[in-house]
Amino acid sequence: MQLARVVGTVVCSVKNLRLSGVPLLMIQPIARDGADVGRPLVATDAAGAGVGEQVFFVRGREAAFPFQPVEVPTDASIVGIVDHWDTSA
């Protein structure tokens, strides 16, 4: 899992039928200190996140798991909303 910040929404007038009803959000991966890491990407949202929230997301085959039994064509999915994290350990 990786941390990210939701930076926007994605609206598509035409998309794969298996994505019907699945929100798409633009996320910016972040480091432990909150700094941006890499490029923003589009992710499906299985957690109900909103713009400005910090989230954790998964990539690869596991990204489709939250939507089972429907096989959603995605390689990045938001699976949780971060309330707080501590890096003092």
Domain encompassing residue 85: 1-13+21-58+80-89
Residue with token string 């299985």? 46
Domain-located, residue 70: no
DSSP bridge pairs for 78: 45, 57
Domain-located, residue 7: yes
Residue 58: predicted pLDDT: 97
Q: How many whole angstroms separate alpha carbon 17 and alpha carbon 78?
A: 20
Domain-located, residue 51: yes
Domain-located, residue 68: no
- Quote the number of domains for the chain: 1
DSSP bridge pairs for 76: 59
CATH code: domain of residue 89: 2.40.50.220
Cα 55 versus chain centre, distance: 7
Q: What are the DSSP calls for 21-47, one per residue?
A: T--EEEEEEB-TTS-B-S--EEEEESS
Residue with token string 């064509």? 73
Residue 89: predicted pLDDT: 63
Each residue's pLDDT tens digit, 23-67: 999 999 999 889 999 999 999 999 999 999 999 999 999 999 999
